Amino acid sequence: MFVIDTFLHRLKRGRETMAYPKGPAPALPDRHGGSLRVDGAKCVEGCDACVAVCAPQAIVRPGAGGIALDLGRCIFCAECVQACPAGAITQTGDHRMAARRREDLVLGAPGQEEVRLAAALDDKLRRLFGRSLRLRQVSAGGSGAEEADLNVLGTIGWDLGRFGIQFVASPRHADGLVITGPASRNMELALRKTWEAVPEPKIVIAVGAEAISGGVFAGHPQVHAGAASVVPVDLFIPGWPPHPLTILDGLLRLLGRLEEDRRDRDPQGHGALGQERPVN
């Protein structure tokens, strides 16, 4: 009889929600590689090996200086890592990649070897959303995978609800939008209307390479160059698609709910320091 069986099963399994963020983050798959790091100082004069192998043209070489690698356009194929003769591009294994400003995703300049991780919302918004954030998801040319991994955050292993974050059915009930896809032209009107229907103050989160920059469809006349072409974006979460851990990190970072924000990741003081309450 399933009723008894399900109860026994639950008792036996116990709590299946991961300890993170109180405990350590689950490990990324070993072949995932995590975020990228660009040591511009190591870059070899006259070389353009990485530019040549980067299919989505995430890397450019603007003149004499080193390269500029746009993590917002990157599909994490690691071809550049293998191609670089100087070891200037490396995988960090770090799941954290979310940034508040588009330019913070561009790596290579001195002091910008790695992503400048997202700062928390300002105090006022954090007081409003910090312990209760309702989001409406809009797929605007999303591939179904980004959407799937947003759904995953609601499953028992991740349990997004424990942070007070919830996906809701109506934009009128939402504090913000989570957008996937490059913003296809056929979705432009619906995306704009959905955004307008969210009451102020509101936030917008772009998830995945397509939503950040158009990704592998950048330049197609049928799409825009990402969500920011249609509405203002407050948080960019790179990945192709982003690992659920990367998305969760981005959301918690935005709400200032990560203990490790106290660690000095951000030389320019963008990180959310102090005023931290422990999660749950």
| 3-state DSSP assignment of residue 276 | coil
Residues that bind ligand SF4 (CB under 6 A): 43-44, 47-50, 53-54, 56, 58-59, 67, 69, 74-80, 83-86, 88-89
Contact pattern for another protein over residues 137 through 176, marking x by CB under 8 A:
xxxxxxxxxxxxxxxx-xxxx---------x-xxx-----
Beta carbons within 8 Å of 262's beta carbon, 6+ residues apart = 273, 274, 276
- Binding residues among 92-131 for another protein as defined by CB under 8 A: none
Q: How far is the CB of 46 from ligand SF4 (least distance, A)?
A: 8
Query: Of 41 and 148, which has the nearer Cβ to another protein?
Result: 148
Residues 179-238 that bind another protein (CB under 8 A): 181-182, 184-190, 194, 210, 216-217, 220-223
Buried b (16+ CB within 10 A) or exposed e, 126-161: beebbeebbbbbbbbbbbeebbebbeebeeeebebe
Question: Is 28 or 279 the residue whose CB approaches ligand SF4 more closely?
Answer: 28
Tell me the closest approach of the beta carbon of residue 236 to ligand SF4, in angstroms.
15
Strands, E, within the chain: which ranges?
Answer: 36-38, 59-60, 68-70, 89-91, 106-107, 133-139, 165-167, 176-180, 203-207, 235-237
Q: Can you tell me the distance from the alpha carbon of 65 to that of 258, in angstroms, rounded to the nearest whole number?
A: 35
Helix (H, G, I), strand (E, B) or coil at 23: coil
Nearest approach, Cβ of residue 60 and ligand SF4 (Å): 10
Q: Which residues would be at the binding site for another protein (CB under 8 A)?
A: 1-2, 5-6, 9-10, 16, 29-33, 55-56, 75-77, 136-152, 154-157, 167, 169-171, 181-182, 184-190, 194, 210, 216-217, 220-223, 240-241, 243
